[in-house]
A and B are shown apart, each in its own frame.
Chain A
Amino acid sequence: MDEFEDILEPRRNHFDIRFALKSRDSVPMYKYAKQQTRTQVKESVLASPRLKFTIDKISTEKGISRNDVEKEAEEILEDMAHSQSLTNLRTLAYIFPKLYKRLLRHLYVNRDGIEKLRSQVKDAPIILLPTHRSYQDFLVMTYVCFHYGLPLPFVATGQDFNNMKFINEVLRMCGAFYIRRSFGSDDLYWALFTEYVQTNVINGELPLEFFLEGTRSRTGKFLPPKLGLLSVALEPYFTGKVPDILIVPVSFTYDRILEEVLHAREMLGIPKPKESTSGLIKARTILQDSYGDIFVHVGDPISVREMAVPRIDRSVHNTLPRFLFNLSAAEQKFSAELAYTVQDYQLKHIYISVWVLCATLLAQKPQGYTLREFCRDVEWLKDLATNLGAKIAWPGEYSVQTLVTSHLKRHHTFVNLAHKNQVAVNAYEGSPQSQSPVEFSCLDEVMSLAVVPMGIAMYRNHLLCRLANVCILATSFCGSTEIKIHELFIRFWFLTRLFQTEFIFRPSVVETEFPATLKKLESCTFLQVSNTEKTVIVLSNGVKALQFLSKMIEPFLLGYWMVLQYLEQSPCKLENDNYSKTVAKNIQAHIAQKVIDGERKDFETLSLNLLNNALTSLVSMEVINKTKSDNGGSLTWKTEKIQETMNKLGVFIPGSEQNAGITKRGNSRGPQLSLTSKL
């Protein structure tokens, strides 16, 4: 267990002004750091061979004068570059503790990780790679660095923030630099972005910080890593411009995420307000709420050199000038693997909040818990998760009841403790479940009812993505207590492929993950592997756990099932607009209609994220096809293949054989779900 310390503690006892003005003389520095002002960086970017080459190319190809291209380059760069200023940061360092002290109980940081980082700052340029669950991540990271007297990072930020007047400049002065979300074929932008990031990395004065996931994860799960910026940031190592690069994975845990409701709505496709300063001011009411604890786990720095030396031949760059961006296939593969390694590390070092345990339980059983039962189950789940390797942020000094109650209170948006210590999920945000069954009449109604279950599911996903392998294995038993090991593997492999987009599996690791997961469950005495019989037997000890674990993943199975069902029932028509986004929307509407009709109650399957992931997975499993086109790619599918997959998936869905029969008869009635505890 890592040792955490609360860095807000000293702020509660001392004047913030002293903190804001504290000396930064002893901040460690990369030993070959080159200190450049914003203007110098810009000048050297614009004067770089890369830019010269690109500007020449553009002006020749498009017949624009060099001057015009140069001018455009200068403007783009001006808009992109950060302008971190210590004066500005000190002002924020005065304001932020005041805010945090009000919003948070504790801000925990693992001191150990900080010290390791500090001792290696001098060795190589640093890249901080935090998980991304909230807007706050960037500010918290900078605050932590300021608190510990570490160099303050410059941070890749989406262009959308640059549209917020005033705030964009404040963030810029904190070290934000702005990049467009996509700029595929814009050569000039590519060159500027590459050169700008690399100049800063090579200078090594400030650590580069960005989010591998590319954007905030709204689902509580990890998003597949985006490799563009990572490749750009690593190239200076491959071309020998820096001796090494240190990658520092950082995991954030929030008891309560500021934007929880916003995220839930977004998943449902309820339009999100555009990032704007006025929007932010309106959202200030969130500042009156309480958000509990934040855990920041700073990981051990990973030396890119140590990882790369045995497998990467950098000499492939010797016969090309270094200003042409160029990564070998091996280097691209390496970058991807590094990204997965980092995410794996982040995942393993996320501290699961007690609230996440609560949400996991409530997702399976939204009502009917007495507080006593609930506390008992929370403890049971805590032990289960701990045994399975998850790290739980469980402060030992409080009783379970105190802990649980405080978390439930904090999350009054989603749950309530109103009646006689009954724990129950709210019907709408902030309003308790009414006794009479809710009637829904229109789509909007369904969607707003789905917000709370989405929110709960989002928190549950924090645990689910940590235990995904175990959950998939548990599901692979399909309720039987004895199973041939190879059959188990085939099912595990199928589900792993099916959920590759959902839980970022590297398909290459299935072979190693399967025995490891099996072993983990065996060591918990949940099951027994008989090597002679080549079977796996579920022990009495494990029945409850395995059932619980497979239930955790059930909503996803159902969601994927519904996707397939929709595709089966609506044969692919080429004249239709089959862009995957449109298809996902149609499926969502289809499901919503079933909810209105009272056929189904699983709100979670309304998540556009889930539906899109399902389509992506099916494409990569070649169940359906995607043709590439300019605006997203269009889907085509054949009924036979869909049915084939439905047969495979049906094994895992309770009562599906019956359903299969129904669908064959062309009946549109949905599966009779044996889920007792859906909303």
Chain B
Amino acid sequence: MALDPMTVTFPQESVKVERQVTFIKVQRVFAGKLERRETAQGFRKEGSLIGRELRLRQEVLKWNGWGFRDSKFEFDGDGVGSFKGTRYLLSGMLPHLRGFAESIEGFRVEDKLPSQPEIPSESLPKPVTHDEFFREIHHSGISFSLDGQDRLFRAHGHTLQEIFTLRTGLFARIPDIVIWPGCHKDVVKIVEAADRHNVCIIPFGGKYQFGCGTSVTNGLECPKEETRMIVSLDMSQMNKVLWIDEKNMTAHIEAGIVGVDLEEKLAKYGLCTGHEPDSCEFSSLGGWIATRASGMKKNVYGNIEDMLVHVKMVTPKGVMEKNCQVPRMSTGPDVHHLILGSEGILGVITEVTLRVRPIPPCRTYGSVVFSNFDDGVNFMREVARQRCAPASIRLMDNAQFKFGASLRPPPSSMWASLVDSLKKFYLTRLKGYDLDQLAILTLLCEGTQEEVAAQEKRVYKIASQFGGLAGGEENGQRGYMLTFAIAYLRDLALDHHCIAESFETTVPWDRVHDLCRNVKERIRQECKAHGVKNEPYLTCRVTQLYDTGACIYFYFGFFYKGLPDPVHVYEAIESAAREEIIAHGGSLSHHHGVGKIRKKWMKSTISDTGYDTLRAVKNSLDPRNVFGSKNLL
């Protein structure tokens, strides 16, 4: 069936107008503190225009890489690095970037490998259609599209394998139709029709489903062997805050809303969720729940499961929800925990009630320099023991410290560069720190001015017991900026024959140090064993602390030029790294989820019995496997 994509209904223009109004209000609320608040939102300088960009995302977002089209790292003709675009505080010339990049063995600025040009719609797989299902959707008035680019755009997440395919090849299978439900009822209709007609649904979040990494688990990939029609259920139109209850401190929100939009809307009321995953510009509320996401400030606000008060999930067997909105209940196993982390295989999340908090009046950054990573880990463990962690506390290893330093802007004056070298002199000569050993810890404190001051005092006192030196606010801020930048950096790496990816885990305190060292060591050995000629780039940071352990985030990249099948080599190495993590008492995932790439470890992770239990839930809720993304199980 051929349909003209132009007949599809477009979202109303009014959205845009509403957004602008919102923005002005936000400015009023945060009078005098505008800049702070903006930095809080991922260093975006402008108000969010996400709503307007919804449909034609191809024009605003990269089709084959991370984030906005106008934002990227680049080396100019003279090999000078810079970050293009003005959306982020990090922008302009980065004179130290090249030196850093070329410290990765093999990397040469001149040696570029451009991506293939945009794939013309004609070359994309023709859609598989189911006439009756299609007719039903068509008659219901719900927006949809059969356009190839729309479908391609929703055929993938941001796993390395997917991006690599986008740059060099073609997916074997992409969704056959994109449908934009406008409300909970639309979703119920679509799911019912899909179940009746045996059509496959893969939910797609506000921008990219599945939380922070914005699916870094191949969660969105269409199973190759799927012969039924595949619907990409794009939740982006369901982006409204339906009500706010200030008495009970709750907000009822549609699940397609993207992180930054949600915070902006709540800010009108002086409220926030406090959920700030690194991908909050692009990931959606439903995605956070479906992957059990974790936000940077979980020490104050908790992870997504802690702020979830109520949730509706539409399954082929009906809607699953609770009949009340209470802080806690004892009614058998919590059904919310079937929805949290369900990764789109049980149903689709439509409406959510979240706990909200007043926006804290004061927020400060800070940093501490330790002479080595181990001291930093010991310090974090002590902070966890005393339960005095500020909103965010992160420890970066030496390699990441050096990367952060490479993103310094050009010195603003002779004076600034003199200060820089004085600092360096102080650290290395007077304090005896080895620049190749030291680790940096970044802090983010939130609360009233007094609270923040007390927090800082206490943390810095503990730090000094572990030989830490205060490293200043600017370093702290740069540390958080790095988080957003690193996602963009992979595209630069891919442009230069480098593969790079991140992965994470949680681990008990006593094994943090051994796990970090041994996983890196294992990766080095595996690289050698797989014929990677150059030393890989390896770095990690401790990003979250808990009473009993910590979350660790690794970045790993290598120069692959000359390898016949770099993606497979990468997969083998990542798999070995995960095995090493598991062998050291690490979890399969802290917040990225399982998706398809980590499925093979699910049974051993939760025991055969646990696995069978989940399988039984899946079979009972979705016997025809409508939600057939094949994630998790």
Contacts and interface: CB of A to CB of B under 8 A. Distances in A.
A315 B582 contact: yes
Given A243-B522, A244-B521, A315 B514 contact: no
Contacts of B518: 240, 242-243
B317 interface: no
A305 interface: yes
B510 interface: yes
Chain A contact surface mostly: loop
B157 to A, nearest CB: 28
A410 interface: no
Contact of A241 (B514, B521, B579): B514
B585 interface: yes
Nearest to B601: A315
Nearest to B508: A318
Contacts of B521: 243-244
Given A315-B604, A322-B510, A322-B511, A240 B525 contact: no
B337 interface: no
B515 interface: yes
B583 interface: yes
A240 B514 contact: yes
Between B514, B518, B582, B583, the greatest number of chain A beta carbons within 10 A of the residue's beta carbon is seen for B583
Nearest to A321: B510
A315 B525 CA distance: 20
B517 interface: yes
A317 B525 contact: no
A322 B525 CA distance: 25
A241 B514 CA distance: 6
A99 B582 CA distance: 53
Given A32-B517, A305-B525, A315-B604, A240 B583 contact: yes
B585 A317 contact: yes
B583 A315 contact: yes
A585 interface: no
B521 to A, nearest CB: 4
B69 interface: no
A314 interface: yes
A116 to B, nearest CB: 16
Contacts of A305: 522, 525
Chain B contact surface mostly: helix
Contacts of A315: 582-583, 585, 604
Interface string A189-230: 000000000000000000000000000000000000000000
Chain A, interface size: which category? Answer: 10 to 19
A314 B514 contact: no
B513 to A, nearest CB: 10
Contact of B511 (A240, A244, A313): A240
A115 to B, nearest CB: 19
Interface in A298-327: 305, 309, 313-315, 317-318, 321-322
Interface string A436-462: 000000000000000000000000000
Contacts, number: 34
Between A240, A244, A305, A309, the greatest number of chain B beta carbons within 10 A of the residue's beta carbon is seen for A240
Contacts of B511: 240, 322
Nearest to A322: B510
A242 B518 CA distance: 7
B561 interface: no
Interface in A241-260: 241-244
Contacts of B96: none
A305 B584 CA distance: 13
Nearest to A238: B583
Contacts of B522: 243, 305
Contacts of B515: 240
Nearest to A320: B585
Nearest to B604: A315
B575 to A, nearest CB: 12
Interface string B517-537: 110011001000000000000
Contacts of B514: 240-242
B517 A243 contact: yes
Between A32, A242, A315, A317, the greatest number of chain B beta carbons within 10 A of the residue's beta carbon is seen for A315
Contacts of B583: 240, 313-315
A317 B515 CA distance: 14
Nearest to B586: A318
A309 B582 CA distance: 12
Contacts of B604: 315
A309 B525 CA distance: 12
Interface in B583-621: 583-585, 604
A321 B525 CA distance: 28
Nearest to B583: A314
A241 B584 CA distance: 9
A104 B127 CA distance: 85
Interface in A314-372: 314-315, 317-318, 321-322
Contacts of A321: 510
A32 B374 CA distance: 12
A242 B525 CA distance: 14
B109 to A, nearest CB: 30
A591 to B, nearest CB: 54
B108 to A, nearest CB: 27
B584 A240 contact: yes
A315 B605 CA distance: 10
Nearest to B585: A318
B194 to A, nearest CB: 39
A416 B515 CA distance: 64
A241 B517 CA distance: 10
A314 B584 CA distance: 7
Nearest to B587: A318
A5 B608 CA distance: 58
A244 B583 CA distance: 13
Interface in A231-286: 240-244
Nearest to A319: B585
A241 B510 CA distance: 10
A318 B511 CA distance: 10
Contacts of A241: 514
Interface in B486-521: 510-511, 514-515, 517-518, 521
A309 B580 CA distance: 9
Contacts of B579: 309
A32 B514 CA distance: 11
A313 B603 CA distance: 14
A660 to B, nearest CB: 58
A461 to B, nearest CB: 40
Interface string B521-564: 11001000000000000000000000000000000000000000
Interface in B244-280: none
A309 B584 CA distance: 13
Interface in B115-153: none
Nearest to B580: A240
A611 to B, nearest CB: 46
A314 B522 CA distance: 14
A502 B594 CA distance: 54
A315 to B, nearest CB: 5
A124 B521 CA distance: 10
Nearest to A313: B583
A309 B521 CA distance: 14
Contacts of B576: 309
B30 to A, nearest CB: 46
Nearest to A315: B582
Nearest to A124: B521
A241 B585 CA distance: 11
A321 B509 CA distance: 11
Given A244-B525, A317-B585, A318-B582, 14 more contacts: A32-B517, A240-B584, A240-B585, A243-B517, A243-B518, A243-B521, A243-B522, A305-B522, A305-B525, A309-B579, A314-B584, A315-B582, A318-B585, A322-B510
Task: Pick the 6 closest A-B CB pairs, nearest first.
Answer: A314-B583, A243-B521, A240-B584, A318-B585, A243-B518, A315-B582
7 contacts: A240-B585, A309-B576, A314-B584, A315-B585, A318-B582, A318-B585, A321-B510
Interface of B: 510-511, 514-515, 517-518, 521-522, 525, 576, 579, 582-585, 604
